[in-house]
Amino acid sequence: MAATAATEQIEPFFFGPPGRQLFGCYHEPQVWPAREQGVVLCYPFGQEYIRSHRACHHLIAQIARAGFPALRFDYYGTGDSQGEDADAHLAQWQSDLGLAVAELRARSGVDRVILAGLRLGASLALSASARTADLAGLVLWEPVVNGQRYLDELRAQHEQALLRFFAQPKDHALGSRPGELCGFALGEGQLAALEGLDLRTAQAPRGKPVLLIESQTTPDLTALHEQLQSGALVTYEHVPSFTVWVEDVDKGLVPQPVIEAITGWLDKVFA
Amino acid sequence: MNETVIQFGPARSLVGIVTAPPQAERDPECPAVVLLNAGLLHRVGPNRIYVQLARALAQDGFTVLRFDFSGLGDSRPRADHLPYAQSAPLEAREAMDWLAQHHGAQRFLLIGHCAGAAFALLVAREDPRVVGAALINLEGGDAQWTEFDRIKKVSQQNARNYGQHAIFSRERWAKLLSGRADYGSITRVVLKDILWYRIVGFSFRASHVLAARRPAVQAEQAARAQQYLGPIIERGAALLLLHSEGSTGLEQIRAQLGGELERLIAAGKLELTVIAQSDHLFTLVARQRQLCAVLQAWAQAHFGARSSHLLSASSVE
């Protein structure tokens, strides 16, 4: 019998060393025999994480229904993991991702791992791919290519949010290097890491299948596509849909066409 | 303080995180706290405030459970298709049952934001184990008020965008004077989205103010206060209404309860705190800290180890 959302097995747990406990959810593969590759999902950051959590859950659940053991997890200083917002640090999340990959392998028994990510999570997945042993492939869902432009986007969203206050905050000014954006404190380390983020210097995993998928074509994504083609086996897909990470959570939206496209690609490439 | 993941409910389908004080600092008399989902947001809460709050309350000696209702966050949808309005209160009680069974808790504080506040109110009304409820930005969900909230936000955002932001923008003046502006759009926004919506909003408010003078409406307000708050207040439970400044939810509560609200506040039966210059989701970090501080102070004042207002165990039996 096919698993449904009401019957599928999810195992939530903490993992990682004391003092850096991370929250993860393991989704058992829902068909047998299971695939030989597992999937680790890297969430977006900050408000984008909050708004896309439901979509990420749906994506990983569908991937598990396609037979892949799958894990999604919160980086240190995010979600249910230990640490405060201001402790979040992109560079240190690489080691968190390493812990998550090890956890997936331990739970599922697979060696080969596909890193998947949305927005800043996709940037992290690409950056970490070179140091991930037995990498099977990459799924990059609308990655953040340029950190400075990403910060500018967040600043514009933050300023829009301020316009919606019924009483304007008199004691708040962002400054040139903001200490918070869109509801989340930004530590100095995270801010510097984001300012320095430029995926156009990242190395593509040579000879590995990569899915670059988006719903809004930008010059940054086009440039990234060209760069990745030099080494990896890239599939580029534009799937018309909404950008769930900026939508109001209470709309309960899930970008099913994108989820179907990602699962379909995994199904085909790792048949 | 330690945090553990739990799965509970009849099908172990509900996922939650328990944040508990160190073993040595646990006080069995201290009520346990349950945080209820803010709308469709998962259990970390808006801007991860529930995580901050759970950790802060645990530092103060409270055991806190934040969890996802069925179909939200990591909790599986229900197989029985029970409507959300029924399943959410049921699951809030299951969360209390779990804390009773595993942490020996007999008394509970419920805290919820927005829809979570509405469920906290419903459960507090019906379950005598609840000795306190903090309702953050409670909103009614009534269609007329939802529309009022929408036009209020639209008119205000446009007034700011086309007002103070445009007046001081050289670029926008240049566009306006050079004929490159979309005059039709500007006219529509100014006439409909700002002026007309202001008139509609003013009329809506005025109709409630005028209605509240009628004795029949005042009697309805008193009956409503008794229906929703009476059972909680009569057993001596603590009740906190916490709103962002300008919150439509608070306007609605004032319209629905009328003078009863002020009477209950004056009698010390109900507390009202307004967080100035905040928005519905407490976007600014300083407001998040303020929110947590208010809730910590409220919980500590009523139920902390140094409190003189501890409810006796017999009053909740």
Q: What is the pLDDT of residues B211-240, one digit of tens each?
A: 888 999 999 999 999 999 999 999 999 999
Residue A3 has pLDDT above 60, yes or no: no
Of B177, B193, B211, which one is at a domain's C-terminal end?
A: B211
Do B103 and B79 lie in one domain? The reply is yes
Same domain assignment for residues B30 and B121:
yes
Choose from B59, B74, B278, B282 for mutation: most chain A CBs within 10 A: B74
Please check whether residues B152 and B93 belong to one and the same domain. Answer: no
Instruction: Looking at the structure, tell me whether residues B121 and B254 fall in a common domain.
Output: yes
pTM: 0.93
Select from B82, B150, B283 the residue whose CB has the most chain A CBs within 10 Å, as the one to mutate to test that interface.
B283
How far apart, in whole angstroms, are the C-alpha atoms of residue A140 and residue A227? 14
Q: What share of chain A is helix, strand, coil (3-state, %, to 5)?
A: 40, 20, 40
Of A53, A80, A185, the CB nearest to B51: A80
The whole-angstrom separation of Cα A75 and Cα A99 is: 10
For chain B, the domain total comes to: 2
Do residue B232 and residue B268 come from a single domain? yes
On whether both B128 and B228 belong to a single domain, the answer is: yes
Question: The tokens of A242 are what?
Answer: 């909404």
A203 C-beta neighbours (distance < 10 Å), count? 14
**Are B197 and B115 members of one domain?**
no
- Helix axes A147-163 and A188-195, enclosed angle (nearest 10): 120
Per residue in A211-235, pLDDT tens? 999 999 999 999 999 999 888 899 9
Give the gap in angstroms from C-alpha B233 to the nearest C-alpha of chain A: 31
Query: Which residue of A10, A166, A179 is in closest CB contact with B74?
Result: A10
Distance CA A95, CA A92 (A): 6
Average pLDDT rounded to a whole number, residues A126-144: 95
Mean pLDDT of the A4-14 span? 82
Q: How far A83 CA sits from the closest chain B CA (Å)?
A: 10
Instruction: Give me Rg for the CA atoms of chain A.
Output: 18
Q: Mean pLDDT, to the nearest integer, of A176-195?
A: 95
B273 and B181 within one domain: no
Judging contacts by C-beta atoms under 8 Å, the chain B residues touching residue A161 are 279, 283
Give A19: exposed, middle or buried? Use CB within 10 Å, 0-12, 13-18, 19+: exposed
Interface ipTM? 0.95
Considering the domain architecture, whether residues B191 and B55 belong to the same structural domain is answered as: no
- Which CATH number characterizes residue B248's domain? 3.40.50.1820
The CA-to-CA distance between both ends of chain B, in Å, stands at: 30
How far apart CA B132 and CA B108 sit, in angstroms, is 7
In chain A, count H helices and then E strands.
7, 10
Among A160, A122, A140, smallest CA distance to A45 is for: A122
Same domain, B18 and B115: yes
Mean pLDDT of chain B: 90
pLDDT of A84-133, one tens digit each? 999 999 989 999 999 999 999 999 999 999 999 999 999 999 999 999 99
Which of B158, B177, B211 is where one domain is finished?
Answer: B211
Give the integer Cα–Cα distance in Å for B120 and B134.
Answer: 8
What is the arithmetic mean of pLDDT over A261-267?
A: 98
Residues B47 and A50: beta-carbon distance below 8 Å? yes
Lowest-confidence range among B256-270, B280-294, B302-316? B302-316
* Alpha carbon separation from A12 to A22, A24, B200 (Å, rounded): 11, 6, 49
**Six token digits for residue A73:** 């997890």
Paired residues of B19 in beta bridges = B3, B64
Q: What is the pLDDT of residues A30-81, one digit of tens each?
A: 998 999 999 999 999 999 999 999 999 999 999 999 999 999 999 999 999 9
Q: Which residue of B has its CA nearest to A161?
A: B283
CB atoms within 10 A of CB B201: 17
Specify whether B282 is located in the same domain as B247.
yes
Domain ends where: B181, B211, B241? B211
**Structural domains present in chain A:** 10-269 (3.40.50.1820)
Measure the CA angle with vertex A218, ends A216 and A224; round to 5°. Answer: 115
- State how far the Cα of A100 lies from the Cα of B81, in Å rounded to an integer: 34
Residue in B2, B31, B30 with CA at minimum distance from that of residue B18: B2
3-state secondary structure of A18: coil
Same domain? For B185 and B233 the reply is no
Q: What's the domain range around B183? A: 143-211
Q: Does A247 touch chain B (CB under 8 A)?
A: no
Does residue B141 have a pLDDT over 80?
no
